[in-house]
Amino acid sequence: MSTPHINAKPGDFAETLLMPGDPLRAQYIAETFLDDARRVADVRNMYGYTGTYKGKAISIMGSGMGVPSMSIYAKELITDYGVKNIIRVGTCGGVAADIKLRDVIIAMGASTDSGVNRQRLRGYDFAALADFGLMEKAVAAARAASIPVRVGNVFTSDLFYSPDTELMPVLEKMNVLAVDMEAAGLYGVAAEYGAKALTVMTVSDHIIRGEATSADERQTTFNDMIKLTLEATLSIDE
């Protein structure tokens, strides 16, 4: 039975799912990396696909931008479609001084200015953390592929165009690696509904230094990150 935002049928989604923000990225990943990929959801053009990667059933679905959109889709995938492992794959803006363009970042934790996780914890701070098992698998896959990764804290922002001009130096001081807009929301949903979650991102720009990658560089780096993440899913027990 479909939900208000996903029109897939029961059993259409695999237990492990990758979530880029852009639905066209979901389409690209499915068509480029999966075998026998089929579209299973398309409400509001938020595409979802299921296929196989080296024989393992994998689904891909867009999340949209921001914590609210991520939270809607992640919740429904977990509670209505039986998805057990969600890995956000996307881009982020670097903050830490030693972060370089095209670095791959695995978000062990996600600080945030969003209030959604405080609502979940009756007004208290919630430590939004990745599932250690998924994170361990992603790090192992990166090492096997000789792809260097950075593991640490990121900051999930509610605003892309933030008026707080003093925030970035504080984040840098606190050793926050990068900024995104979804990780803390995904981690909160997974904790509330008993799923496992991880965020793997590539650095498309450096916020403090004002550096940015070209379109070709972003695509190449994105492909490397997706390969790494898909390899990590092969060792997930289901």
Tell me: the pLDDT tens digits for 5-28? 999 999 999 999 999 999 999 999
Q: Is 190 exposed, middle or buried (0-12, 13-18, 19+ CB in 10 A)?
A: buried
Q: Which residues contact 3 (CB under 8 A, 6 or more apart)?
A: 76, 80
Query: Lowest mean pLDDT: which of 51-60, 79-88, 165-174, 216-225?
Result: 216-225
Q: What is the pLDDT of residue 130?
A: 98
Say if CB 141 and CB 87 are below 8 A apart: no
pLDDT band at 118 (very low <50, low <70, confident <90, very high): very high
User: In the structure, what pLDDT confidence band is assigned to residue 216 with cuts at 50, 70 and 90?
Assistant: confident
pLDDT band at 220 (very low <50, low <70, confident <90, very high): confident
Confidence of residue 82 (pLDDT cuts 50, 70, 90): very high
Q: Could you tell me the two tokens for 1?
A: 């039975």
Query: Catalytic residues, which ones?
Result: 205
User: CB neighbours (10 Å) of residue 117?
Assistant: 23
Q: Taking the alpha carbons of 198, 29, 232, 139 in that order, is the dihedral positive or negative?
A: negative
Residue 87: per-residue pLDDT = 98
Using CA atoms, how far apart are residues 119 and 216, in angstroms rounded to an integer?
A: 40
pLDDT at 238: 60
pLDDT digits (tens, 9 = 90+) for 165-208: 899 999 999 999 999 999 999 999 999 999 999 999 999 999 99
Average pLDDT over residues 74-96: 98
Mean pLDDT for the stretch of residues 27-36: 97
**Any residues with CB less than 8 A from the CB of 237 and at least 6 apart, and which?**
none
For residue 1, the model assigns a pLDDT of 66
pLDDT at residue 219 tops 90: no
Mean pLDDT of 33-42: 98
pLDDT at 224 over 80: yes
Structure-model confidence comparison of residues 236 and 238, the more confident one:
236
37 φψ region: left (φ > 0), alpha (ψ -120 to 50), beta (else): beta
